[in-house]
A = this chain, B = another copy of it.
Amino acid sequence: MNPFDDAYFMRKALQEAEQAYAKGEVPVGAIIVFKNQIIARAHNLTERLNDVTAHAEMQAFTSAADFLGGKYLRDCTLYVTLEPCQMCAGASYWTQIGKIVYGADEPKSGFTVLGTKLHPKTKVVSGVLKEECAEIIKRFFIQKRNLN
C-alpha cells in the first residue's frame, strides 16, 4: 500500500481550499509535489490580493519553481481541487509540469471544455475526491447567497 497516493495529496490541496474559504475566497486549493514531497502550497487569493491572476495554481507554480531553483516542473505533480482554467492550464504548459491531478470538474470555464493546449509531456488525472472538492465550493456559494 502506498500511503502517498493521489487521494492523500488531494486532501492536502483541500486543506488549502479550506484556508481560502475561511478568508472569504472562492475555495480552491493547490499543492505541488516532487518525489512525494510537498514543495508548494497555495490557495485562491484573488479578493485579498485584488488580482484575478492570483489563482491557487499560479501561485503554486511560482512557489515551486522558486523552491526548485529552476523554471521547469517536469518531475512534479500539481494537485488542485478544481479543474484549472485557461490561464492556469496555459501557465502549466510553460512549466512543462509532469502531471496534473484535479478534483471537481469546471464545466463552464475549465480547460477541457475550452480546449486549452497542455504540454505534450503533461499527464492528466481527474475526479480525485471529486465530491469533497465540489462540496466546499457549493457550500461557499450557498453561504454567500445567504449573507446577501
> Footprint of B on A, CB under 8 Å?
46-47, 50-53, 58, 61-62, 65-66, 69-72, 85-91, 93-95, 109, 114-117
Contact = CB atoms under 8 A, between A and B. Distances in A.
Contacts of A66: 50-51
Contact of A86 (B51, B71, B90): B90
Contacts of A87: 86-88, 90-91, 93-94
A108 B58 CA distance: 23
Contacts of A116: 86, 90, 114, 116
A86 B114 CA distance: 11
A-B pairs with the 10 shortest C-beta distances?
A86-B90, A87-B90, A52-B94, A87-B91, A53-B91, A90-B90, A51-B62, A52-B71, A87-B87, A114-B117
A86 B53 contact: no
